[in-house]
A and B are shown apart, each in its own frame.
Chain A
Amino acid sequence: MTALAGFGPLLRLALRRDRVKLAVWLLAVVGMSAYCGTAVRTVYADPADLKAVVGFVTGPAGIVMSGPGYGLAEPTHGAAFAGVYGVWVLLVSGIASILLVGRHSRAEEEAGRLELVRAGRVGRAAPLAVAAVIAVAFDALVLLASWGVLVAVGFTSGDSALFAAGVALVGLVFAAVTGVTAQLAEHSRTATSTAGLLLSGAMVVRAAGDILGDAEGRHGSWLSWLSPLAWAQQTRAYVDGRWWPLLLAAGLAVLLAVAAYALARRRDLGAGLVPARLGHARAPRWMGSPLGLALRVERGALLGWSTALLLAGALYGSLVASVESSVGQLDSGLLVEVMGGGTGAAVDGYLGVCVLTAVLMVTGYAVAAAHRAVGEETTGRLGLVLSAAVARPVWLGSLLVVAVLGSVVTLAAGGLGMGLGAWSVTGEAAYVGTCLAAHLVYLPAVWVVLAVAAVGFSLRPGWLAVAWVVLAYAAVVGVLGPALDLPEAVLDVSPFHHVGMPPLDDPTVGPLVVLAALAVLLAGLALVRFRRRDLATG
């Protein structure tokens, strides 16, 4: 098969280049299962403790964050592990596979390395086949290792295999999704972030579907079944296991892989499927400043993310009526205990969790916008700009201003969407203001993460990635913190923790001012420090 010529050497090359990252990601996915599984079994060894903590994360807010909630009424350790923490293992598995395929397909092509490789005795389909084989092998390892680890922790073998298979197949589906986006987009960043957006979308659709189902007193609804994440959850591992939903995942992965292969055969090397059009021969005046340039470069991503946040917000908001009705069915005594209030508080708690999800997504977007700085520097565009009469702090400052602006616009879009959605189903216009405020009040915390990115970049381009670590930490602590009963000191490290959980909590001005001041201070430090370092060569 000439289309696959050169497969062997390419595979060896890919494994040699990626051996560390593959091991680290495998450890991350399996380690997450091991950690959560162990935590559930040891911290809540007493069934009464288990029931109490699971009660804390059920209800609409818990459903948004975790899933349809099979077996949580009378929780076993296995059901609590799969029902409350399982979805986060699925997400990490999806992210790992997206980055893996992105690295081995479009990134190679964009860097021009693939051109060199394809000029050798290498078939058209070989590079994609290498990416596919690595993804399959990676997810097979995820399956085996997760299974082994969960059995070692003390869970039953059959259900652990089912859960592990779900984790692996979600990874495989999103590996295949990335295989397709890598053919459509010309840049690896676009390919991976589109796949990431689809993963977020799968989470949003699953959450909305499960809320709808809950309102009817069921686990999940037709909407949930549109999300690959739900297929893994619908296996009901550790409750009443069934394998057939995983057939959907396997089928979709195969279908997408075939589509990616068909697309790869049709297009030119280096090109996307969307052809380039002619543009303007002259630049408008506003583009001729560092700020204007940064804005122009960010424009497409900003529009895309704002639209996505608006739609996700609208979906979450439009479920408020369902939340109200499902809360109405619940034992009101439990509600008072858990949420500290009646139906209104339950709705606010639900919205609070939705807002936090949106904020984490927006922070990811803002850090990605700041991440452009690294690309500008390593490609040599920054050298070209600085060789014109542009001061370094002005350039970095412009980039940060655009990222800050992006965070404001996307958060406002999310808040507006959620408010309008809630207004449309309840007829209460006040939701618009409440939801907008609940989103925007997080801004100082988002800016702290951005400022950390700037400080990292000002020391060394690659160190901007510290901001991703901060974000990942904040996400884990913010989402799992209450359920894991983490100490206050651990929570305090996350900037988002100081905002509270609006609209459930009324934000206090003090911490917000401190956060904003911290962001300004860090950004100032970064601007000063960036004047002093050498530029990396392109």
Chain B
Amino acid sequence: MATPVIEIAGLTKRFGDVTALDRLDMSVQPGEIAAFLGPNGAGKSTTIRVLLGLLKADAGTVRLLGGDPWADAVRLHERLVYVPGDVTLWPQLTGGEAIDVLHRLRGPADRARRDELVERFRLDPRKKARTYSKGNRQKVALVAALSSDVDLYVLDEPTSGLDPLMEQVFQECVRELRDQGRTVLLSSHILAEVEQLCDTVTIIRDGRTVQAGRLADLRHLTRSHVTARTERDASGLAALSGVHDLRVEADGAVAFTLDGQHTAEVMRALTDLGLVSITSTPPSLEELFLRQYDGVADRPAATSGARP
């Protein structure tokens, strides 16, 4: 296996008495579109800022593109771009000027690609940055980032201010990056977007990784929704391990949720009962996500955001 693009193990970061990151782990392989999920204040932006060498880790190891993000910051930054969640630009500069400045600070960029993206994102590059809305400021940072020819794209909630049309454009751009074999770290709250774009998911809570892996595998590990119609009464299935929340519908069908690893036994039992029809829906990412946070709202510690 090639060297991971991002390899974080046991990362801890404290701001005074607040522990923002608590032994966090994450790994992103080359060519992956990796999603980074967590509720507000879970530590996503802090992790990204450590990866960019803006914050120094208190403990743990962090490797980025084979180097140390703190010590080798400048050398590594030639190979990555970053789009912050809340983009602030220089009010005196126009959007076009800001894009060019960001390009030149990093190194060579593709001018034709820049102009194409300005067009696709419907950005007026002659307007001063102070007149831009949040979405337009984000477009400036996105155009500057996506027209750069680098190995890693670090995007921190890049679409939070975009309209659905522009979000579509953004998704196309990320797919183009995937086709070129680039690596993307995408922190996002828009789960439908993550579901469509991402190969792997890292979910964190209170500065700690609670779930990580390929999206397909994660789905397998969680419960599907099953609705089945059988010739004989199927309410006895509730006794089987792996079957939860079983209820008998008015029309005699049974609906339950099913743990992925017990699929085979439950299917056999259903067949024995004279299976007529069955629909099985894999868990949506939203369900995956919400399950990780079930009951979290009762715990005040989880919602106290740890922004420096």
Q: Which residues on A are within 8 Å of B, measured CB to CB? A: 186-187, 276-283, 285, 287-290, 292-293, 296-297, 299-300, 379-381, 383-392, 532, 534-538
Q: Are A280 and B88 in contact (CB under 8 A)?
A: no
Q: Are A535 and B128 in contact (CB under 8 A)?
A: no
Distance, CA A285 to CA B97, complexed state (A): 10
Give which listed residue, A278, A297, A391, contacts B126 with CB less than 8 A: A278
Q: How large is the interface on B (under 10, 10 to 19, 20 to 34, 35 or more residues)?
A: 35 or more
B84 CB within 8 Å of chain A: yes
Q: Are B88 and A534 in contact (CB under 8 A)?
A: no
Q: Which residue of B lies closest to A279 (CB)?
A: B94
Given A288-B105, A534-B54, A276:B128 Cβ within 8 A: yes
Q: Are B73 and A391 in contact (CB under 8 A)?
A: yes
Tell me which residues across on chain B come within 8 A of A384, comparing CB atoms: 82, 84, 87-88, 102, 141
Tell me which residues across on chain B come within 8 A of A290, comparing CB atoms: 105
The CB with the most chain A CB atoms within 10 A, among B54, B80, B84, B93, is that of: B54
Q: Are B308 and A281 in contact (CB under 8 A)?
A: no
A-B pairs, top 6 by smallest CB distance, nearest first, are: A288-B104, A283-B100, A387-B82, A279-B94, A388-B105, A283-B97
A387-B52, A387-B77 known; 20 other A-B pairs, CB under 8 Å?
A: A186-B130, A187-B91, A277-B128, A280-B126, A281-B96, A283-B98, A283-B100, A287-B100, A287-B104, A290-B105, A292-B101, A296-B93, A380-B88, A381-B89, A386-B73, A387-B81, A388-B77, A534-B54, A536-B308, A538-B84
**A to B CB contacts below 8 Å, 26 in the list:** A283-B97, A283-B100, A283-B104, A287-B97, A287-B101, A288-B101, A288-B105, A289-B104, A293-B90, A297-B90, A297-B92, A299-B92, A381-B88, A381-B90, A384-B88, A386-B53, A386-B54, A387-B81, A387-B154, A388-B102, A389-B75, A534-B55, A534-B56, A535-B55, A537-B45, A538-B84
Q: What string of 1s and 0s marks CB contacts (under 8 Å) between B72-86 and chain A? A: 011101101110101
**Chain A contact residues: over half helix, strand or loop, or mixed?**
loop
Nearest Cβ on chain B to A113's Cβ, whole angstroms? 15
Given A281-B125, A387-B80, A387-B82, A534:B308 Cβ within 8 A: yes
Tell me which residues across on chain A come within 8 A of B127, comparing CB atoms: 276, 278-279
Nearest Cβ on chain B to A110's Cβ, whole angstroms? 10
Tell me which residues across on chain A come within 8 A of B98, comparing CB atoms: 283
Given A380-B84, A384-B82, A537:B308 Cβ within 8 A: yes
Nearest Cβ on chain B to A449's Cβ, whole angstroms? 26
Tell me which residues across on chain A come within 8 A of B55, comparing CB atoms: 534-535
Given A279-B128, A300-B92, A285:B45 Cβ within 8 A: no
Distance, CA A419 to CA B81, complexed state (A): 51
Q: Are A280 and B49 in contact (CB under 8 A)?
A: no
Nearest Cβ on chain A to B45's Cβ, whole angstroms? 7
Distance, CA A167 to CA B94, complexed state (A): 44
Q: Are A537 and B73 in contact (CB under 8 A)?
A: no
Q: Are B97 and A279 in contact (CB under 8 A)?
A: yes
